[in-house]
């Protein structure tokens, strides 16, 4: 056997070994992509049905602001150990309403109980590097509470809240 033939045999063996190792990696990547596609499909379906529910309760003509995929950072009264959650944030003339997708949770704040609002960089020790909408309010149980969300059109939300409540955005 000449040297070039030996090189061909060795190179071919290494290629075959590399292909055997590469097949499980490719299958794993494809399975991961498929899993993500199914998960995103389920989230989209869940968000669509939640939006339908919200629209039945609060028809479009009542909306002052809506963010169909707001990210809630939690309620101050529940402490720092809450998990952020995506959902629908809606402002009408009478309520600020949030419907979390998973777990299903609702936050209903009558506009008359809003005591302030503003912009935060973080809330309850959590941040995502974007500005947050903070709402301060008096819950039915008394005392004071607040919540914060990432929303699209933050300036629009601040403007609508100022018009509706007669308050000005408070600094962090």
Q: CB neighbours of 162 closer than 8 A, spacing ≥ 6?
A: 168, 169
pLDDT of residue 103: 81
Per-residue pLDDT, 16 = 57
**What is the rounded average pLDDT of the residues 22-40?**
79
pLDDT tens-digit readout, 107-159? 999 999 999 999 999 999 998 999 999 999 999 888 999 999 999 999 999 99
Q: Check residue 51 and give its pLDDT.
A: 73
Tokens of 115: 């005591």
Is the preceding omega at residue 90 within 30 degrees of 0, hence cis? no
| DSSP H stretches of helix in the chain | 3-57, 154-165
**Per-residue pLDDT reduced to its tens digit, 50-59:** 777 877 888 8
More confident: 30 or 116 = 116
Q: Is 159 exposed, middle or buried (0-12, 13-18, 19+ CB in 10 A)?
A: middle
Is pTM beyond 0.75? Reply is no
Alpha helices in 58-167 (DSSP H): 154-165
The tens digit of pLDDT for each residue in 84-102 reads 789 999 999 999 999 998 7
- The edge-to-edge listing of strands for the beta sheet with 132-137 is 105-110, 95-100, 85-91, 65-75, 145-150, 132-137, 114-120
């Amino acid at each position: 056997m000449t040297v070039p033939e030996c090189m061909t045999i060795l190179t071919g063996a290494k290629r075959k070994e590399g292909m055997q190792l590469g097949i499980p990696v490719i299958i794993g990547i494809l399975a991961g992509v498929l899993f993500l596609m199914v998960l995103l499909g389920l989230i989209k379906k869940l968000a669509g049905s939640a939006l339908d529910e919200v629209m039945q309760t609060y028809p479009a003509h009542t909306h002052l602001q809506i963010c169909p995929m707001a990210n809630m950072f939690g309620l101050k009264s529940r402490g720092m150990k809450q998990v952020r959650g995506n959902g629908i944030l809606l402002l009408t003339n009478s309520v600020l309403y949030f419907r979390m997708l998973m777990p299903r949770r609702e936050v209903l704040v009558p506009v008359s109980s809003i005591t302030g609002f503003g912009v935060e960089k973080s809330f309850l020790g959590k941040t995502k590097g974007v500005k947050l909408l903070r709402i301060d309010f008096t819950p039915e149980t008394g005392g004071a509470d607040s919540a914060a969300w990432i929303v699209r059109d933050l300036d629009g939300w601040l403007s609508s809240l100022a018009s509706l409540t007669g308050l000005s955005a408070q600094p962090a």
